[in-house]
Structure 1
Amino acid sequence: MIAWWLSIVLIGILALPLSMRVFGYLPGRGLAWSKALGLLVVAWIAWMGAMLNLSGFDGVTVGLGLIGLGTLSWFVQKPLDKARMLAAVRQHWPEWLAYELLFGLVFWLGIQLRLHGLYGSGIHSTEKPMEAMLFSAVLNSSNYPPSDLWLAGFSVNYYYFGYVLISVLSVLSGATLGETFNLGLATIMALASVGVAGLVTTMVRLWWHDYVLSRLRLVGIGALALLGCVLVLMVGNQMGALQTIINSAEVNKLTDSQRVSVLWQALQGIEPATVDPATLKSDNPGESKSSTLPPMGEKFNAWWPSRVIYDDSEETTIIVDNQQRMGMFQREIITEFPFFSFYLADMHPHVLAIPLTLLAIALALALFVRPAMLRFPKHDWLELAMAGLVIGGLYAANSWDAPTFGVLYALGLVNLWRGHTPQPTRRDWLHVAGQVGLVVLAAVLLYMPFLLTFTSFAGRDTIPEPFANIPIINSLGKIMAPARDHSGWTDLLIIFGLFLVPIVAWLTRIVNAWQQWAVIGVVLLIGLIVGIPAVVFLPIAVICWQTAWQRNQRDVQNFSLIVVGLAALIIVVVDFLYLRDIFDNRMNTVFKVYYQAWMLLGITATASIWGLLSNGQWRRWTNGIWLPLFGLLLAGGLVYPISVINPRTSPSWDSSGAKLDGIESSQHFSEPIRKAAAWLEANTPRNSVLANAPGSSYQDGGELATLSARPTLLAWPGSHEGLWRSKQPDANQQVAQRQGDLNAIYNATDLNQLREVLTRQKVNYVVWGPNEQRAYPQANIGLIEQAATKVYEADGWIIYQVQP
Structure 2
Amino acid sequence: MWSVDLTTILKTYIISLGLQFLIWPLIKKYFSKLPDQGWALGRVLITLMAALLIWQLSYLGIAENNNGKLFAILALFGLLSLWQIITHGVKAFTVAKTTAKIIAIEEYLFLVGFGVMALIRAHAPSLDSLEKFMDFGFLKQYLLSPTLPAPDMWQAGQTINYYSFGHFWASIWVRIWGVAPAVGYNLMLAFIFGTSMSLVFLVCVILAGNKSSKAATFGGIIGALGVMVAGNSHVIWYLIKNRSLDNYWYAEATRFIHNTIHEFPSYSFVVSDLHGHVLDLPIILTFLVVLFSWVENKKRVYEIAIGVLFGVMMMTNTWDVAVYGLVLLVLGVQMVVADIGELKKLLKTVGVMFVSFLLVALPWWLSFSSISSGVEVVTERSPFWQLLVLWSGGLVINILAVIIEGRGEKKIVIRTLALSAVFLIAIPEFVFARDIYPNHPRANTMFKLTYQAFILMGILLGVTFGSLLDRGRKIVLGLRVVAIFIIFFIFVGTMNFSFIAFTTYYGGFSNYYGLDGEKWMQTKVPENYGAVKYLRKNMNGKNMVEAVGDSYTLFNVVSVFSGVPTIQGWRVHEWLWRGGYSMVASREAEVREIYQGVSIEKTKEILDKYNIGWILVGLDEKITYKINEEKIWQLGEMVWEEGDTYLIKVE
State the TM-score, normalized to the length of structure 1: 0.75
Residues 600, 694 of structure 1: alpha-carbon distance in 2 compared, 3 angstrom cutoff? same
Q: Does residue 570 of structure 2 align to residue 722 of structure 1?
A: no
In the aligned structure 1, how far is the partner of 2:396 from the partner of 2:260?
A: 24
Number of the residue aligned with 1:392? 311
The 3-state SS of whatever aligns with 2:641 is strand
CA contact (8 A) 1:56 1:140 kept: no
Number of the residue aligned with 1:643? 500
Number of the residue aligned with 1:405? 324
The 3-state SS of whatever aligns with 1:156 is coil
Counting matched residue pairs gives 640
The 3-state SS of whatever aligns with 2:429 is coil
- Cα distance per residue 1:351-379 (max 9 Å; x no partner): 11000010111111112212xx44xxxxx
Residues 495, 411 of structure 1: alpha-carbon distance in 2 compared, 3 angstrom cutoff? same
CA contact (8 A) 1:367 1:413 kept: no
Amino acid at match of 1:702: N
Residues 68, 88 of structure 1: alpha-carbon distance in 2 compared, 3 angstrom cutoff? same
User: Cα RMSD over matched residues?
Assistant: 2.7
Residues 162, 747 of structure 1: alpha-carbon distance in 2 compared, 3 angstrom cutoff? same
How far off its partner does 1:599 sit?
0.7
- Cα distance per residue 1:316-369 (max 9 Å; x no partner): xxxxxxxxxxxxxxxx21111111100110111101100001011111111221
Residues 83, 688 of structure 1: alpha-carbon distance in 2 compared, 3 angstrom cutoff? closer
Q: Does residue 392 of structure 2 align to residue 497 of structure 1?
A: yes
CA contact (8 A) 1:108 1:186 kept: yes
Alignment of 1:285-300 (within 5 A): 300=248
Residues 115, 226 of structure 1: alpha-carbon distance in 2 compared, 3 angstrom cutoff? same
In the aligned structure 2, how far is the partner of 1:146 from the partner of 1:34?
A: 28
The 3-state SS of whatever aligns with 2:162 is coil
Q: Does residue 489 of structure 2 align to residue 632 of structure 1?
A: yes
Residue among 536, 543, 546 paired with 1:681: 536
The 3-state SS of whatever aligns with 2:117 is helix
Number of the residue aligned with 1:82? 89
How far off its partner does 1:98 sit?
2.5
Alignment of 1:396-545 (within 5 A): 396-409=315-328, 422-424=339-341, 429-459=343-373, 479-509=374-404
Alignment of 1:664-679 (within 5 A): 664-665=519-520, 670-679=525-534
Q: Does residue 552 of structure 2 align to residue 698 of structure 1?
A: yes
Alignment of 1:573-584 (within 5 A): 573-584=427-438
Q: Does residue 181 of structure 2 align to residue 185 of structure 1?
A: no
- Cα distance per residue 1:237-279 (max 9 Å; x no partner): 233344456xxxxxxxxxxxxxxxxx3xx46x9xxxxxxxxxx
How far off its partner does 1:80 sit?
5.5
Amino acid at match of 2:578: R
How far off its partner does 1:575 sit?
1.4
- Cα distance per residue 1:110-157 (max 9 Å; x no partner): 1122134xxx22001110111110110111112111111111101100
CA contact (8 A) 2:397 2:460 kept: no
Residues 79, 793 of structure 1: alpha-carbon distance in 2 compared, 3 angstrom cutoff? closer
Structure index of larger Rg: 1
In the aligned structure 2, how far is the partner of 1:650 from the partner of 1:402?
A: 32
Number of the residue aligned with 1:786? 634
How far off its partner does 1:612 sit?
3.5
In the aligned structure 2, how far is the partner of 1:199 from the partner of 1:366?
A: 10
The 3-state SS of whatever aligns with 2:549 is coil
- Cα distance per residue 1:67-113 (max 9 Å; x no partner): 343345456x4796225335536663333233222211110111122
Residue among 61, 66, 80 paired with 2:69: 61
CA contact (8 A) 1:41 1:69 kept: no
How far off its partner does 1:389 sit?
2.1
Residues 575, 724 of structure 1: alpha-carbon distance in 2 compared, 3 angstrom cutoff? same
Q: Does residue 153 of structure 2 align to residue 167 of structure 1?
A: no
Amino acid at match of 1:738: R
Number of the residue aligned with 1:305? 253
Amino acid at match of 2:638: K
Residue among 751, 776, 780 paired with 2:600: 751
Q: Unpaired segments of 5 or more residues in structure 1?
A: 246-262, 270-295, 311-331, 375-379, 460-478, 512-550
CA contact (8 A) 1:499 1:601 kept: yes
Q: Does residue 38 of structure 2 align to residue 143 of structure 1?
A: no
State the TM-score, normalized to the length of structure 2: 0.91
In the aligned structure 2, how far is the partner of 1:396 from the partner of 1:762?
A: 29
In the aligned structure 2, how far is the partner of 1:73 from the partner of 1:391?
A: 25
CA contact (8 A) 1:192 1:355 kept: yes
Q: Does residue 648 of structure 2 align to residue 800 of structure 1?
A: yes
Q: Unpaired segments of 5 or more residues in structure 2?
A: 1-7
Number of the residue aligned with 1:344? 271
Residues 497, 243 of structure 1: alpha-carbon distance in 2 compared, 3 angstrom cutoff? closer
CA contact (8 A) 1:309 1:334 kept: yes
In the aligned structure 2, how far is the partner of 1:415 from the partner of 1:12?
A: 36
Number of the residue aligned with 1:544? none
More helix as a share of residues: 2
Amino acid at match of 1:712: T
Residue among 703, 709, 713 paired with 2:567: 713
How far off its partner does 1:793 sit?
0.6
163-172 vs 233-242, greater mean Cα deviation: 233-242
How far off its partner does 1:591 sit?
0.3
